[in-house]
């Protein structure tokens, strides 16, 4: 597969070796490296080598490869850094907090009291509200 690339994309530049990174591993479809602004020690990224911005446009087999790379990194994080837990996080679009529009999965080691906002409180929702959204979603599948 020819990998799409975008000239002014920071992750495309890392893939091309034009800017440095703390590389953890790479294979044909993916690369993994340390996040340059970690939210916790050990925060790493599993990144598609090709430039696909978001989950809806990346080929399924490339997404699977990125997930496999994220799993490899998560296993190493768990074995070597022994965190309290690990979150995998993947953002799509600025409304979801995506700052680099080149698909990647965050591997985030968790520590007690780190106050990251993943551990949300569920809100009370009527079953009818869930059902209404369920109908709309099913229509798109």
Question: Which residues does the annotation mark as catalytic?
Answer: 104
Q: Which does 98 bind (CB under 5 to 8 A by kind): Zn ion, ligand AMP, none?
A: ligand AMP
CB 46 within 8 A of CB 105: yes
Which CB sits closer to ligand AMP, 20 or 126?
Answer: 20
Residues that bind ligand AMP (CB under 6 A): 10, 19, 21, 33, 35-37, 91, 97-100
Using CB distances below 5 to 8 A depending on partner kind, what does residue 35 bind out of ligand AMP, Zn ion, none?
Answer: ligand AMP
Which partner, Zn ion, ligand AMP, none, binds residue 10 by CB below 5 to 8 Å per kind?
Answer: ligand AMP
- Asked if 80 and 44 touch (Cβ cutoff 8 Å), the reply is no
Integer Cα distance of 102 and 3 in angstroms = 12
12 binds Zn ion (CB under 5 A): yes
CB atoms within 10 A of CB 32: 24
Is 11 one of the binding residues for Zn ion (CB under 5 A)? yes
Where are the strands (E) in the chain, listed by range?
23-26, 30-34, 44-48, 85-89, 104-110
* 52/107 with CB nearer Zn ion: 52
């Amino acid at each position: 597969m020819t990998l799409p690339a975008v000239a002014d994309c920071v992750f495309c530049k890392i893939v091309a070796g034009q800017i440095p990174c703390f590389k953890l591993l790479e294979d044909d479809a993916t690369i993994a490296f340390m996040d340059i602004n970690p939210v916790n020690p050990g925060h790493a990224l599993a990144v598609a080598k090709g430039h696909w911005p978001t989950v809806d446009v990346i080929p399924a087999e490339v997404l699977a490869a990125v997930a496999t790379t994220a799993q490899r990194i998560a296993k190493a994080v768990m074995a070597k850094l022994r965190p309290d837990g690990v979150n995998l996080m993947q953002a799509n679009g600025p409304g979801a907090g995506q700052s680099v529009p080149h698909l990647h999965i965050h591997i985030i080691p968790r520590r007690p009291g780190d106050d990251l906002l993943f551990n949300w409180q569920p809100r009370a929702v009527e079953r009818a509200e869930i059902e209404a959204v369920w109908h709309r979603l099913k229509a798109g599948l």
